[in-house]
Amino acid sequence: MSESLLARLGAAALLAAAPAAAADNPLLAPWSGSHGGVPPFDAVRVEHFRPALEAAMAAKLAEIEAIAAREDLPTFDNTVAAFERAGATLDRVTAIYSVFAGTMSTPELREVEREMAPKQAALDDAITQNERLFARLEAVYAARETSGLTAEQQRLTWLHTTNFIRAGAKLDAAGKKRMSEINQRLAELYTSFRQNVLADETGWVLWLDEGDLAGLPESERSAAAAAAAERGQPKRFAILNTRSSMEPFLASSARRDLREKVWRAYYGRGDNGDAHDNNGLIREILRLRAERAKLLGFATHAHWRLERAMAKTPERAMELLEAVWAPAVARAREEVADMQAIADAEAATAGTAPITIEPWDYRFYAEKVRRAKYDLDADQLKPYLQLERLREGMFHVAGELFGFRFTPATGIPVAHPDVRVWEVADRESGRPVGLWYFDPYARTGKRSGAWMATYRRQQRLDGEVTTIVSNNSNFAKGGPGEPVLVSWDDAETLFHEFGHALHGLSSRVTYPTLAGTAVARDYVEFPSQLLEHWLSTPEVLGKFATHVGTGEPIPTALVERLERAANFNQGFATVEYLASALVDMKLHLAGDAEIDPDAFERETLAALGMPREIVMRHRTPHFSHVFSSDSYSAGYYSYLWADTLTADAWEAFTAAGGAWDRAMAKRLVEHVFSVGNTVDPAEGYRAFRGRDAGIEALMRDRGFPLPGAAAD
């Protein structure tokens, strides 16, 4: 191994420590047991992570150096395929490490994260800056069209080669050194940002007594009681600083003063001028991203990020965002007027001073408008939305559209007793497909929100390897034996994240780098957003939306009212999302300008004409999508881009015979869900749909006027 490579990571120390670290460390052993091996969650302790990561990193460096040091002619097999095989131990270690960091965080683990994040970044740089390895990749890439490679092999070669270039492989020595310094510092900043948000989420609780519960339905009272009991206050009630606790409270609590407290705590995460304030971190992150983009020859970080996205340029992404912004704001102002009218009427009837709708009032009065306009109450729906029945509904959709069968698995180690595991198989042939882990409940040390994770990617490089995926949520756990009831929005999120899981489970590719959800950022949300549509189908609602008390299916009349209200509050939902997407993009188009995040957010929204009654879905100081990694940076627009495809694809189903059309489902699996990143996403979508998607279906789906059309 070259001295420069060793020095860059301090790899000599890692290699020396590797044999000792490997002894009795369960993280470093190949996964054993059924289903091709499973993560040994039950054997892992926090103290295993640091030595396991160091040993696995050293092992990957040695494997990479062995490829780079070869003196034979570079071929796909001895270079690209070998590169695919490198780092298998590290992949296993980081899979478990990520689960603990995201769902089982402790002070000790957060210390490990802070220490290891820059080392992991340095490892990535040591690999992409390995000149001999890059030369071999380039040689294979140059001969890709004349060396008999399959289309999948050609795409993999292109992907790895361009990844190296985008990471700085062609920079001079000084540029490479600076690139590595930037990436290591960013890794530290991302870790601090993420941990600050978690600290503000777990460190704040609104404690309530019986007299503070006015307006809360029984399901929310029960959840708040369970949360309090878990925190050692069995006679009180707790509202947590998470979206799944905040949103239903703001929608139902009759206590305006308490709504404001909950709202300010949630939207103030990372923005309190204390030790967990993220504004300084954001400033430095933006500066470093801008510098890195310039090093790589891009005008801004946004241009670098979108080069290989479907949108290709920030300008195209902004064009879509801005096309939807004006009609969304207009609809939101109509919604506010409806809410204000109800608030004024209530004040007149009660003889009290009128109020002006504030952000902490929006959800509360929106529910009143929904009842008045559509005779639909969120509390009417909730008794029919049981978490476990919805999970069964998701399995039904997976069976009908994808041919999957889910069976409870036994004897599989889990990271927490709340986690359950299912075997997934082809229901006709019985062929194993993979494992699905479900972790639905909030707990201390678990980050908020909902997400899908991949523990092991599907591949066929050296024989069939099935995938392991998980879905994670943050529902408040009810009392012993009590069914957990969720909101309609949370039910949609369940189906959304399950769509990501099905994307991973459906993968049928050869090389792990191309498997499952490893696609362009503005394409990955398309399969998940599309799956949301099956929740509202009569078959799913009729079979699985059953009353928690009586077991009766949801009444047809209630479903009809739900359908009539499908676009209710669409102004709010679209504006709060678009505000986040626009601020994200504008922050990263600002280049190396010195930015005060709070001021930038405030001034940008004012210039856009943001309704004062709405805030960004993710305010900048806790915008984890954007500032806890590069993942969605300059990429939060992706949800709208993907929803353009989603609306168009759903119209294809409805035109072809409905949601359960088998031929259309087969095309969807064949061209979208199963191909991973083996084809360009635009080509994959055209193969499914027969053409590109336009914006018209999106506007129809949201009930907005078409571009250029006169408003009613």
Task: Tokens for 512, please give them.
Answer: 């792990």
Nearest to 685 by CA among 479, 519, 442: 519
Task: Tokens for 658, please give them.
Answer: 């409905």
User: For residues 2 and 263, what is the distance between their CA atoms, to the nearest angstrom?
Assistant: 55
User: For residues 640 and 300, what is the distance between their CA atoms, to the nearest angstrom?
Assistant: 22
Nearest to 544 by CA among 408, 382, 406, 392: 392
User: For residues 413 and 265, what is the distance between their CA atoms, to the nearest angstrom?
Assistant: 36
What DSSP letter does each residue of 561-618 carry, written as one string? HHHHTTTTTHHHHHHHHHHHHHHHHHHHHSTT----HHHHHHHHHHHHT--TT---SS
Nearest to 587 by CA among 559, 618, 565, 556: 618
Residue 474, CB half-sphere, CA atoms under 13 Å: how many? 24
- For 108, the 3-state DSSP assignment is helix
**Single-letter amino acid code for the residue at 22:** A
Task: Tokens for 504, please give them.
Answer: 């991973």
Instruction: Give the contacts of 339 (CB within 8 A, at least 6 positions apart).
Output: 357, 361, 362, 365, 366, 368, 369
**Do the Cβ atoms of 222 and 482 come closer than 8 Å?**
yes
Radius of gyration of the chain (CA): 26
Let me know how long the chain is. 712
Other beta carbons less than 10 A from residue 599's beta carbon: 10
Which residues does the annotation mark as catalytic? Answer: 497
Cα 300–chain centre separation? 24
